[in-house]
Amino acid sequence: MNFVAIILTLLGVMAGVQESLPSRYFKSKGHHGRTAENEPPFTEKYFSQIVDHFNFNSMGNGTFNQRYLITEKYWDRENGPIFFYTGNEGDIWDFALNSGFITELAEQQRALVIFAEHRYYGKSLPFGQESFNIPQVGLLTVEQALADFALLISQLKQELGASNCPVIVFGGSYGGMLSAYMRQRYPNLVAGALAASAPVLSTAGMGDPRQFFRDVTSDFEGYAPECSAAVRGAFQRVQDLAEHQAYDRLQSAFALCKKPSSPGDVRQLKGFLRNAFTLLAMLDYPYSTHFWGDMPAHPVKVACEAMLSGPDLLANLRNTSGIVYNSTGEQTCFDLYSLYVECADPTGCGLGSNSLAWDYQACTEIELCYESNNVTDMFPAMTFTPAERLAYCSKRWGVTPRPGWLRTQYWGDALSTASNIIYSNGDLDPWANGGVRTSLSPSVVAINITDGAHHLDLRGSNDADPASVISARKTEANLIAQWVAMERLRLK
């Protein structure tokens, strides 16, 4: 499919909005339909999980149904390990469908595979439709999620007669953070962890707030310096129109469903557009994907071709954002407030109930005070300071964030005292420099993947894979096999 041709084709559609949208529409953190071709061999099950692991009075022994996926297809019950995916901020099927390396490795090492859904995401809602009310949402914490995983592992090992089967945990992004935390917090249950694209440092308040959007910019500059210059110029045109309150022109230029009418609407437009570039950089895979919507192969390249396609920078910016927000070609206009929600994560929370859960986590334990400044990056100056985070979170959720909590809980800059953790990162991923890029010990290993986007190594093998990710997966497989062998000896 010629994505560039599609996104550059505009047709008149609406009175008041004379341009149609570029094709391809982004379905934020959505769950795509499964077909016989891509159906992994999982059975969907539910586990009666404890609502509150740490307070015997508030909820008693109350339980909720935690969803998990399981397959014994590859498992050697006598000698095979357990591969356990620590679910993150979304529907667990989305991660199972996009983490083919785990099942490939399970076939090689004869493992049982489990994908566990994170509480408050997907269908694992402790209080049903009331889960995001206050105070019910207060049981959404990293600690509760880790305890969920620990109890699920323990119970399933007992039920399946697998008490002597070593457990290796896997995760990507926030899920990668959880995998590392599981090895640190529950080494009695977990023999090792593959933490892919896990920003364990920046989310603990240990990074530069400019790093994320600087690295998004670097991806586009890496394709062509004139690409980032064009993006910067387009955003300046947006600012110029906003300063003159040319709201009609902004609506027409970006095919907006509703005319902007305030500085707040303009900020929403800027966040909406910046978020498109964030996703294009994160998902810059060498082949088309269907993880967070339909994305073409090499989306940064496709985006830069759109940005450099002609002299009308606003039209080019609109078309580029359409790669993300109009992936079905069905939209006749952009609804800024339904397609993008500003929240406590400047890189985007997504939409729907999953976005509520992530917003709450970003307001409590997970620090995401990232900013763009139009100096070290190509985006408009948009701050999100600790003070702004506090004001937003106090108003939205009635909570006061706890800066430094993850650093205290999960060892911060003392990670060298851990063991049996792989931190893998791709150099195209804007999250990479918020994680561990240098090996800290012989058993806390950093793997850097040239030309790798967001947790590319967890994806299934593809003919277009760069040699670097093929090598990374081999290293990961060898280390995991060593950990399994060591743990099997210990258990015996």
| Alpha-carbon span 85 to 115, nearest angstrom | 5
Three-state secondary structure readout of 198-236 = CCCCHHHCCCCCCHHHHHHHHHHHHHCHHHHHHHHHHHH
304 and 284 Cβ atoms separated by less than 8 Å: no
Scan for tokens 């008041």, then name that residue. Answer: 16
Q: Count Cβ neighbours within 10 Å for each residue of 171-210 and write b for 16 or more, e otherwise.
A: bbbbbbbbbbbbbbbbeebbbbbbbbbbbbbbbbbbbebe
Q: What is the dihedral of CA 196, 428, 299, 464, to 10 degrees?
A: -70
**CA–CA–CA angle 469, 473, 476 (5° rounding):** 135
| Radius of gyration of the chain measured on its C-alpha atoms | 23
Could you list the active site residues? Answer: 173, 429, 454
**CA–CA–CA angle 379, 382, 387 (5° rounding):** 155
Alpha carbon of residue 9 to chain centroid: 30
Q: What one-character DSSP code corresponds to residue 135? A: T
- The DSSP secondary structure of 24-84, one letter per residue, reads ----TT--PPP-TTT--S-EEEEEEEES-SS-TTTSTT-EEEEEEEEE-TT--TTT--EEE
